[in-house]
Structure 1
Amino acid sequence: MTRVECFFDCTSPWTYMGVHSFLRLSERLEFEITWRPIIVGGVFNAVNRQAVEQRERPDVPRKNEYGRKDIQDWARYLGLTVNVPPKCGHPVNGIKVMRACLVMQDRSKLPAFAIAAFEALWIDGRDLALDDVLNDLCQGVGEDPDDVLAAITCLEIKQRLRDNTDDLIARNGFGSPTWFVNRTDMYFGNDRIPLLESAIRLDNAMDWDGKAATG
Structure 2
Amino acid sequence: MGKIAFWYEFASTYSYLTAMRIDEAAQRADVEVEWKPFLLGPIFKAQGWTSSPFNLFPAKGRYMVRDIERIAADRGLRFQMPDPFPANGLHAARIATAGRADGWCAPFTRAVFKAQFADGKDISDADVLASLLANIGVDSEAAFAAAGLHAAMDQLRLTTEEAQARGIFGAPSFTTEDGELFWGDDRLEQALAWAQKL
Q: Give the structure-1-normalised TM-score.
A: 0.85
For 1:74, what is the secondary structure of its paired residue? Answer: helix
Amino acid at match of 2:11: T
Q: CA deviation at 1:53?
A: 6.3
Q: Which runs of 5+ in 2 are unaligned?
A: none
d(CA) in 1 for partners of 2:108, 2:56: 33
Q: CA deviation at 1:48?
A: 6.4
Deviates more, 1:157-166 or 1:177-186: 177-186
Instruction: Count residues in correspondence.
Output: 198
- The ranges of structure 1 where at least 4 consecutive aligned residues each deviate by more than 4 angstroms after the TM superposition are none
Within a 5 Å distance, the mapping from 1:15-94 to structure 2 comes to 15-47=15-47, 49=49, 52=51, 54-58=53-57, 61-84=58-81, 86=82, 88-94=83-89
- Any idea what the Cα deviations from partners look like across 1:6-64, whole Å, max 9, x if unmatched? 111122110010222322212202122222110122221124628x3643342xx5444
For 1:3, the equivalent position in structure 2 comes to 3
Paired residues of 1:48 and 1:174 also in contact (CA < 8 A): no
Q: Which has the larger radius of gyration?
A: 1
Amino acid at match of 1:55: F
Q: Which runs of 5+ in 1 are unaligned?
A: 204-215
Query: 2:175 matched to 1:171?
Result: no
Q: CA deviation at 1:130?
A: 1.0
For 1:110, the equivalent position in structure 2 comes to 105
Amino acid at match of 1:179: F
Alpha-carbon RMSD across the aligned residues, in angstroms, is 1.8
Paired residues of 1:10 and 1:94 also in contact (CA < 8 A): yes
Query: 2:128 matched to 1:133?
Result: yes
Task: Report the CA distance shift for 1:63/1:101 in structure 2 as closer, same or farther (over 3 A).
Answer: closer
Identical positions, percent: 25
For 1:120, the equivalent position in structure 2 comes to 115
